[in-house]
Each structure stands twice: as C-alpha cells, then as structure tokens.
Structure 1
C-alpha cells in the first residue's frame, strides 16, 4: 500500500506542554484513515502537523518521499493539501455560493449540491448565519470540490443530524477511492472500512485496520 504522507518521530508543543511525543504515523494513498482518541489525545495536533499549521519541535513530515517539514501552509495547499478544521472552517462573511466558488476549480460546485442538496436553498445566505451542522456541510463540501489530493478533516460530522453524518461518510468514502482522506474522530464511524490510528496522550497506541479494533477494549 503506497504511503501518501507520514510523520516520523514528530513532536509538537504548545508552550511548555508537549502534545505529540515522537509520533510515527503513515497515511496510505487512496484510503480513508481515521485518527481515534478522546479530546486531548493528539488527534488535532496530528492533522495540524501534517498541514503545517503548527511547527514540529522534532521529527519530520514526509509527503510522497519528499521532506516537507519546513514547507509553509500555503505551499502545502498548492501541492494539493486541504485542511478542514473543527472550527472557523468557512468564510462567514461570504455567501454559501461564494464559499463554494472559491473552493471549486473553475467555480463549478455542482458536485457539492449533488452531495448535499440541502445546501441549494442556502446558496444566497451568508455562511455566518448558518447553523453549526449547515456550516459543517459547507466546510466538507468545499473540501469535496477543491480537487486536493490529500484531505484532512477534524470531526467533520460535528453538529450534523445522524442521517447527514451518514451521508457525509458515504461522500468521504467515495472520495477516498481517488485521494488520501484523513479524519479525526472520537469514535469510529460504524460500518466503515478504514486504516485506524488510535491516539492516547500524544502517543499512537494502535495502528491497523478497522476490523482489528473489534477485539480491543474501548477507550
């Protein structure tokens, strides 16, 4: 299985506190990867380290064989990385349509409306007036239409109704047939086949396929 991007001995600190303690973690190409763990486990720090929004205090980020540890965020984005954070993931002052136009190559965001038909009547509204679940739909849609080869999402279904969350994982699973998709969640999405890395207190305590988690005790 080809590796898209990986952390090698990655350490991340916020002031005096270290959030990642020498993490080794590989993300396969064209696969759904799930980072599992409770709040404070290091899931978000892994995404930020991969995206370059935090600097490593030690270790490396290797993307398709190239060391990109020192590469700034905007250059990683130009290379095809998209990060959907758990907050402030949309341009609140712009309309839904404008948010999608900015993300979609050529401004064609038809696939976003096919994925989330509920966004269609919201197109003229400013993103800041949407509910939390609607903003998450818009944030995920921007990632779906953006054409990135590596998509990182922090709790993408937060605030969504159960049926919308299920639809979201259908869309992400479809996206992962062509691109590397990494999702940080507190629980494994039911019925999904994925590569799983479980984190605890800044360390990876399990790496394997989702089916292997059945025999392990819950967090």
Structure 2
C-alpha cells in the first residue's frame, strides 16, 4: 500500500498558540484513513494542513513524493484534492441541483442521487434551507462527483441520523477503492476497517489499523 500524502514534522500555529507539535502521519493511497480525536486535539488542523488551508510554521507536506508545502490550496484542488469542511461546505444561495452541477459539469448526478435518494426531491431547493444533515449529504455527494484522487472530510456524518451516517461510510468505503479518503472524527466509525491516527493535544499518540485501536485505547 503506497503513500498518497503525508505530514512530516508538521507544526501549525494560530497566533501564539501551537496547534500541531511536529506531527508525522502518512495517508495511504486507495484506503480510508481516520484522524481521530476530541475537539482541540488537532485533527481538524491536520486535515487543513493536508489541504493547504492553513500554513505550516515548520515541517513539510509531501504528496506523491513531491513537496507541496508551499502549494496554495486552490492549486492542490486542481491536482485532484477535494476538501469537505465541517461548516460552509455547500453554496447556500444555490439550489441543490446547482451545487451538484458545480461538482459534475456534465450534469450526471447519478452517483449522488443513488447514494442519497432523499436528495432527489430537494433538487430545486436552495441549499441554505436544508437541515444540517441534508446539507452534509449534499456536501458528501459533491465530493463523490468530483472524481478526486484525495478526499478530505471533516466530520462528514455530523447531523445525520444513524442509518444515513452508516450509509455515508458505505459510500466513503466504496470511494476509497479508487481514492485516498481521509476523515476527521471524534469517534471511530463502527465496523469499519481504516488506518487510524489518534491525535491528542496536537500530537499523534497512536498510528495503526483500526483493529489495533480496539475500544478507543491504543494497545
């Protein structure tokens, strides 16, 4: 299993506060990776560092063997990176159909609507009028349509009902057959095989496969 992207000695500062303290983590190609931790652990910052939406104070981001530390986020997107943030992940003033069309200019929404049939009757609705869970469905759908080789999602199932959340991880597992998929979560998705990086106070305290992680405490 080759490495798609990695952080090496990554440090991120917000003013005088350091959010990541020399983090090393590798994301394999064509696999599901979970950045696990509580709020304030650094998992979201690590995700943003991979995406290029926060700058490193020290360390490197290496993507497919190339140093992209200084590459802006929009150029990483052009190279095949898709970020689904935890907030403002959809265009609120546009309809659901418009949001999907931006991700799939050929207007083929089949993957999105097969994945989330509940979106079909919502196509003419403005995205900003949807519930939180519906907006997350739309945001994940847009990621599914992009054909990206690296997909980063921050708490993708937030606000979803348990059945829809489970369906979402089915979709992400399917996507991970073709792309590197990285999610930032507070809890390990149940019943899923993944690479886990557990962060605590800006440091990685465990890296390994999900069965090794067990009930939440590194063995």
1:58 corresponds to which residue? 58
2:80 and 2:145 map into 1 onto residues whose CA distance is: 12
1:107 and 1:76 map into 2 onto residues whose CA distance is: 24
1:132 corresponds to which residue? 132
2:211 and 2:110 map into 1 onto residues whose CA distance is: 35
2:63 and 2:211 map into 1 onto residues whose CA distance is: 27
The answer to whether residue 83 in structure 2 is matched with residue 69 in structure 1 is no
Q: Deviations over 1:111-159 (max 9, x none)?
A: 1000000000000000000000000000000000111000000000000
Using structure 2 for the length normalisation, give the TM-score. 0.98
**Contact 1:105–1:145 (Cα < 8 Å) also in 2:** no
| Structure 1, unaligned runs of 5 or more | none
**Contact 1:40–1:201 (Cα < 8 Å) also in 2:** yes
Shift of 1:107: 2.5
Shift of 1:217: 2.9
1:148 and 1:46 map into 2 onto residues whose CA distance is: 19
2:112 and 2:140 map into 1 onto residues whose CA distance is: 9
1:95 corresponds to which residue? 95
Secondary structure of the residue that 1:106 maps to in structure 2?
Answer: coil
2:211 corresponds to which residue? 211
2:172 and 2:97 map into 1 onto residues whose CA distance is: 21
2:110 and 2:213 map into 1 onto residues whose CA distance is: 37
Shift of 1:104: 1.3
1:144 corresponds to which residue? 144
The answer to whether residue 25 in structure 2 is matched with residue 44 in structure 1 is no
1:199 corresponds to which residue? 199
1:141 and 1:177 map into 2 onto residues whose CA distance is: 16
1:23 corresponds to which residue? 23
**Contact 1:111–1:145 (Cα < 8 Å) also in 2:** yes
2:39 and 2:197 map into 1 onto residues whose CA distance is: 15
**Contact 1:103–1:146 (Cα < 8 Å) also in 2:** yes
Shift of 1:109: 1.5
| Structure 2, unaligned runs of 5 or more | none
Structure 1 residue ranges, 4+ long, deviating more than 2 angstroms after superposition: 215-218
Q: Deviations over 1:41-95 (max 9, x none)?
A: 0000011000000000000000000000000011000000000000000000000
**Contact 1:104–1:147 (Cα < 8 Å) also in 2:** no
